[in-house]
Amino acid sequence: MDTKKQNRRRFLKEGAALAGMAVGAIGSASAQTPGAEASPVPYRDRRAYGRRSRFVNSVRTNDDDATHAAFGRSFNVYTPLQDSIGIITPSSLHWVSAHGYEPPDIDPQEHRLMIHGMVDRPLIFTLEELKRLPFVSRIYYLECQANRPEYKGETVQQSHGKTACSEWTGVPLSLLLQEAGVQSGAGWIVSEGDEAGKMTKSIPMAKVMEDVLVAYGQNGEPVRPENGYPLRLVVPGFEAIYSMKWLRRIKVVDRPYLGYKEISRYTRDDSRSSWFQFEMGPKSVITFPSGGQRLPSRGYYQITGLAWSGGGAIRRVEVSTDGGRTWKDAELQGPALRLAHTRFNMAWKWNGEQTVLLSRCTDELGQVQPSLAEFARFWGATSEQFLSRSARGAGHSNSIQPWGVNRDGSVYNAIS
């Protein structure tokens, strides 16, 4: 009703502000202050929706994939893990891989979730109805299965920036399926998104009943459009592609439905090809000091990083400051939650010499993060073949990431 008027008013106001800024910018061109934004936003315009300091300029970086970029439809951005603090990723810095589709601009009033297939009572929910149901909030990471150490990753953002951790709020999918009444013989669901290509993904029922969420909240606000607004699945611990964004439909079925992202991509691509890979293995990475950063002087530092595993909670992180000769247990900062990023810290006195920093984690199942050589051997390849992608193996690399430290304090990707 009034929103049109408001929009118009806001437009006029912002237009005026912009015009004012332009004049100001010309007037003070010689007196530029450092920071991400050249001109500070007027104080009163920051009250309605907060902004970070103009001196904080950590941003996501692009990594266009060639296939989609050729058609102007790549929306792949990485999380700046080198700047991460604690375990929660700000929603504005959450990595995105949109598989070649523009994040749809969905009106929440119009959006519906349909549940049907092998159920006694097919149901359609509005968003408002879903929000009336019992909800939970859970902290889970989401990691792309292609998030893997490589030569080309100069920074931890490039090598590991396709993982992020959020507090997700929503209705357990098990509750919705109980309401619909799952019939005997049903073993899987097919989830479907509402982007132009309507991607689908099949998920085994045991996982659905365990901990899958139909989420509308992320870090205390509605899920951001690129991350699935107004509704998405969160399938904790599985490759993030299972966590269907812009969720519009759940079909209960007896077998996996083998959609595009199950038979052409995201398959296990070796002689033992199989249709599905679910959990990601235990992984850890040092976020400081990491590639591209520089230690200003010898002396005391707090080595810090993140560890996570599709197997559950992180039990232990070991750090080596001498290229793997000796290992010491890092402190788990806590909370060390199941299927969430876990922060680890370790005190370190740098003596100014060349060295390599490593971390390796163990999860609650006893799974240990492998070295690159161990990981490659599993795929019947050498590290070299694996890194150059001439070896088979679709993602899922959870090998140890080495960061080299030069005498001048510069830090580089020491993978080899």
Positions in the binding site for another protein (CB under 8 A): 67, 70-71, 73, 100, 114, 116, 121-125, 129, 132-133, 178-181, 187-188, 190, 192, 196-200, 204-207, 210-211, 248-249, 251, 253, 255-260, 263-264, 268, 272-279, 281, 310-312, 365-368, 370-371, 374-375, 378, 396
Q: Which of residues 86-105 bind ligand HEC (CB under 6 A)?
A: 99-100
* Distance separating alpha carbons of residues 326 and 349, to the nearest angstrom: 15
CB of 170 vs another protein, minimal distance in Å: 15
* Distance separating alpha carbons of residues 150 and 401, to the nearest angstrom: 9
402 interacts with ligand HEC by CB under 6 A = no
CB of 121 vs another protein, minimal distance in Å: 5
Distance of CA 250 to the CA centre of its chain: 23
CB of 264 vs ligand HEC, minimal distance in Å: 5
CB of 162 vs another protein, minimal distance in Å: 19
Q: Are 103 and 75 in contact (CB under 8 A)?
A: yes
Instruction: Enter the tokens of residue 406.
Output: 């030069």
Tell me which amino acid residue 102 is: E
Query: In Å, what is the CA distance from 269 to each residue of 2, 20, 265?
Result: 55, 57, 9
297 interacts with ligand HEC by CB under 6 A = no
* Distance separating alpha carbons of residues 215 and 108, to the nearest angstrom: 13
CB of 114 vs ligand HEC, minimal distance in Å: 24
62 to 81: interface string for ligand HEC, x by CB under 6 A:
-----x---x----------
Q: What is the 3-state composition of the chain as percent helix, strand, coil, each rounded to the nearest 5?
A: 20, 30, 50
Residue 311 binds which one of ligand HEC, another protein, none, with CB within 5 to 8 A depending on kind? another protein
273 interacts with ligand HEC by CB under 6 A = no
| Half-sphere CA count of 142, side-chain side, radius 13 A | 28
CB of 94 vs ligand HEC, minimal distance in Å: 21
264 interacts with ligand HEC by CB under 6 A = yes
Tell me which residue has tokens 């692009």: 62
Residue 357 binds which one of ligand HEC, another protein, none, with CB within 5 to 8 A depending on kind? none
The residues near 15 (Cβ < 8 Å, ≥ 6 apart) are none
Which residue's CB is nearer to another protein, number 219 or number 369?
A: 369
Query: In Å, what is the CA distance from 211 to each residue of 136, 204, 340?
Result: 11, 12, 13
Tell me which residue has tokens 């680890």: 344
Contacting residues toward ligand HEC, per CB under 6 A: 67, 71, 99-100, 264
